[in-house]
Amino acid sequence: MRRTQVGIVGAGPAGLVLSHLLYRQGIESVVLESRTREYVQERVRAGVLEQNTVDLLTDLGVGERMRREGLVHRGIELRFQGRGHRIDFDELTGGRAITIYAQAEVIKDLIDARLAAGQPIVFEAENVSVHNLEGPRPSIQFRKDKDSEPEELFCDFIAGCDGFHGVCRPSIPNEALTVYERGYPFAWLGILAEAPPSSEELVYSHHDRGFALLSMRSRQLSRLYLQCPGDENINDWPDERIWQELRTRLACDGWTLTEGPILQKGITEMRSWVVEPMQFGRLFLAGDSAHIVPPTGAKGLNLAVADVRILARAIAEFYSSGSCGLLDTYSDTCLRRVWKVQRFSWWMTSMLHRFDSDNAFDRRRQLGELDYVTSSRAAAQSLAENYVGLPME
Ligand code: APR
Ligand code: PHB
């Protein structure tokens, strides 16, 4: 039998950043993760960090490699009707930027720093379950491995940072939660290619055949995406078909796509999803366990980090003054940002993708919107301030 102040379920961006924020305040926590260390460190996920996220990681002392290896981008390109239009973040937001640095690298840095500080992460935790959420002493039951005895970790608080498919949210009675969701009738086919990025900055391309995105992980690695049907089978996409489609959808005067060996490919579902409230008794949900955004605009990781920043502040207030004030408003505070970010991700998705239900009017309207965003300073500024990250509360 063990105890800790905060039991954290999940070693994704939400759980690990929370553990560092708490440690900095002298608050003890245990992170329980069902996968292996290698698995969480190698998972190919997002790669765009908002200025807020970069500043926080730097502040936590885990930003050194990010500063060395990350690529700072001061704008993005919107491409439509074969022409590129730059959105200049630097000028539109007063010098804010984004950093391209893979989530997997962020995770490695966070895990290394936590273990170096002698703080616990239990990888490959089996049969994780959460209990007594409404009482003063919630607990997490788990096994260190398949053959060991079940253990119980008693906590003051539990942070459910275990993603969309985790155990924390399903442990809350259904009637205590309301779900808001919107599906999209398409997905993204993503590749990682050993090819220098064909553009300095990210390119979001609107095309009659569907959306395409040029992103990157480093100066040697391109990350590219194609909108595809929701039920697409990756086996129907041999490498040459992928490159052909990317060339078509990203085509632009005087520009060529650099190609190279495809190292990894996969299909990402798209959905907008929110659960309210993000708290039940002493269980607090953060990150993907509470909300999912479609990847257009790259907000998932950044929103997870914003949640745990609010949660850490609330928990710190509890230990320093005994007040539950910030804990009680945790969900409302997070949800204000969550809905603004949901709006932005939905809007970017709607503006850039081909919806089969759209008629000719809708397609012209989309082009009108892209024209507006790239020709009106007010509209471009709205995109820019959301993309680099809205101010923290
Ligand atoms: N017990 C312990 N850990 C679990 C359990 C469980 N029952 N279920 C899931 N996990 C772990 C997962 O293996 C994963 O490592 O919880 C972690 C959740 O991490 P993420 O899914 O990355 O979620 P989050 O930290 O909220 O970050 C959200 O990261 O991966 C992206 O698309 C995601 O951008 C979004 C952001
Ligand atoms: C990525 O590089 O994986 C990426 C970039 C921008 C997005 C989504 C994903 O909008």
Strands 98-100 and 83-88: unpaired
Query: Which residues lie with the beta carbon below 6 Å from any ligand 1 atom?
Result: 9-15, 32-35, 40, 45-46, 103, 125, 128, 161-163, 166-167, 287-288, 300-301, 304
- Using one digit for the tens of pLDDT, what is the confidence trace for 327-338? 999 999 999 999
Q: Which of 392, 350, 354, 339 is nearest to 373 (CA)?
A: 350
Residue 103 is predicted with a pLDDT of 95
Q: Residue 46 has what pLDDT? A: 85
* Cα–ligand 2 centroid distance for 78 (angstroms): 14
Task: Indicate the SS3 state at residue 86.
Answer: strand
Which residues are near ligand 2 (CB < 6 Å)?
A: 46-48, 202, 213, 215, 223, 295-298
Beta bridge partners of 223: 192, 215
Res 145: pLDDT: 87
To test the ligand 1 pocket, which listed residue (29, 33, 141) has its Cβ within 8 A of the most ligand atoms? 33
Residue 117 pLDDT grade (very low, low, confident, very high; cuts 50, 70, 90): very high
| pLDDT band for position 231 (cuts 50, 70, 90) | very high
**In DSSP terms, which residues pair with 186 in a beta bridge?**
229
pLDDT at 86 over 90: yes
Give the Å distance between the CA of 14 and the centre of ligand 1. 8
Mean pLDDT of the chain: 97
Query: Which is catalytic among the residues 101, 184, 204, 330?
Result: 204
Encoded amino acid at 228, one letter: C
Taking each helix axis as running N to C, give the angle between helix 13-24 and helix 300-321, from 0 to 180 degrees, rounded to the nearest 10: 30
Model confidence over 368-382: pLDDT tens digits?
Answer: 999 999 999 999 999
Instruction: List b or e across 51-76, with b for residues whose CB sees 16 or more CB atoms inside 10 angstroms.
Output: bbbbebbeebebbeebeeebbebbbb
CB atoms within 10 A of CB 96: 20
Is residue 150 annotated as part of the catalytic site, yes or no?
no
Tell me whether residue 204 is one of the annotated catalytic residues: yes
Q: How far is the CA of 97 from the centre of ligand 2 (A)?
A: 15
* Ligand 2 atom with minimal separation from the 348 CA: 10
Choose the residue to mutate in 202, 203, 386 for probing ligand 2, maximizing ligand atoms within 8 Å of C-beta.
Answer: 202
Q: How far is CA 316 from CA 2, 108, 211, 286, 321, in A?
A: 21, 26, 44, 16, 8
pTM: 0.97
Backbone torsions φ then ψ of 234, nearest 5 degrees:
-60, -25
Q: Which ligand is nearest to the CA of 303?
A: 1
Give 44's pLDDT tier (boundaries 50, 70, 90): confident
Catalytic site includes residue 340: no
Tokens standing for residue 319: 């230990």
Concerning whether 101 is annotated as a catalytic residue, the answer is no
Tell me whether the omega of the peptide bond preceding residue 277 falls within 30 degrees of 0, making it cis: yes
pLDDT per position as a tens digit, 184-212: 999 999 999 999 999 999 999 999 999 99
Shortest CA distance to 298 belongs to which of 106, 165, 160, 99? Answer: 99
pLDDT at residue 180 is higher than 60: yes
16-41 in b/e form (b: 16+ CB < 10 A) is bbbbbbbbeeebebbbbbbeebeebb
Round to the nearest angstrom and report the end-to-end CA distance of the chain: 38
* Separation CA 106–CA 102 (nearest Å): 7
Each residue of 148-179: b (16+ CB within 10 Å) or e? eeebebebbbbbbbbbeebbbbebbeeeebee
Give the Cβ contact number of residue 359 at 10 Å. 9
d(CA 234, CA 301): 25
Active site residue 39: no
Residue of 206, 207, 291, 299 marked active site? 299
Residue nearest atom 7 of ligand 2, based on CA coordinates: 298
**Which tokens is 218 given?**
């480093």
As a three-state string, the secondary structure of 91-137 is: HHHCCCCEEECCHHHHHHHHHHHHHHCCCCEECCCEEEEEECCCCCC
- What are φ and ψ of residue 239, in 5° steps? -50, -45
State the ligand closest to the CA atom of 141.
Answer: 1
Q: Alpha helices of the chain — where are they, by DSSP H?
A: 13-24, 37-42, 51-59, 64-69, 89-93, 103-116, 239-250, 300-321, 325-328, 330-352, 360-375, 377-388
Tokens of 28: 């003890």
Mean pLDDT across 22-44: 96
Distance 46 CA to ligand 2 centre (A): 6
